[in-house]
Amino acid sequence: MPPAATGIHHSPFSRIAAGSVGKGEDPCSRIRATLVRVKLGRAFASAGLLLGMGAALFAAWSSIERHETRGAAVASACTCALERQRSGWCAACGVGYVAAREIRSKALYDALDAHGHDVDVPGLACSSCREAARTDGYCATHGRGFVGGRAYLSRLAYHVARGEPEKIERELVLLEKALETLERCELCAAAMVLDGTCPKCRLSYSNGSASAAR
């Protein structure tokens, strides 16, 4: 896990994403306890937590929580046509779209971070991140791209924002593999597109390949 960096708004779940949940400790109970303090799954803390996949990955987990508890409280009108164009989420149908691909998992959709999020560029501790934010580049240290002053936590979202068709197609291959993983574990699918770690299965992913988390 990369070193901490300040200046970027993150989920309060970063400690668990960083792999600091002890063996034998139930990550589900820890996450649910944290969720009590969060109104929305994609809420970000305002002060210096880890710049890493934790924000999107645990926003994905909380998306599962919201999806399981919301019952019939969903929109009645389908907005799929609009969401397909803007990489959005149709609450009526329970389906999202990123790069025109259909995603029937709110967890995976949130992890892809299709629209990025605002960052305080001068407050970023990582010099590579600051330079990437200045040049619409990519920080290899933290695995995050920047476009127009926004940070993108998945490579797919970053390349879509930059309009890079060939690189988008390469990342869509990984997305297809993540979609196949959904039936087994939604968090593994989310971790796969972030090169992150699933706290439930304790598997770490790199370019779609899994290994036991350390």
Q: For residue 208, how far is the Cα from the chain centroid?
A: 15
* Residues 156, 179: Cα–Cα separation, whole Å: 14
User: Quick one: pLDDT band at residue 76, thresholds 50, 70, 90?
Assistant: confident
Report the SS3 class of residue 140. coil
Of 8, 43, 1, nearest to 126 (Cα)? 8
Alpha-carbon distance 74 to 3, whole Å? 39
Angle, helices 165-181/186-194, rounded to nearest 10 degrees: 160
The lowest-confidence range among 3-12, 34-43, 186-195 is 34-43
The whole-model pTM stands at 0.68
Confidence band of 122 (pLDDT split at 50, 70, 90):
very high
Give tens-digit pLDDT for 137-184: 999 888 899 999 999 999 999 999 999 999 999 999 999 999 999 999
pLDDT bin (cut points 50, 70, 90) of residue 42 is very low
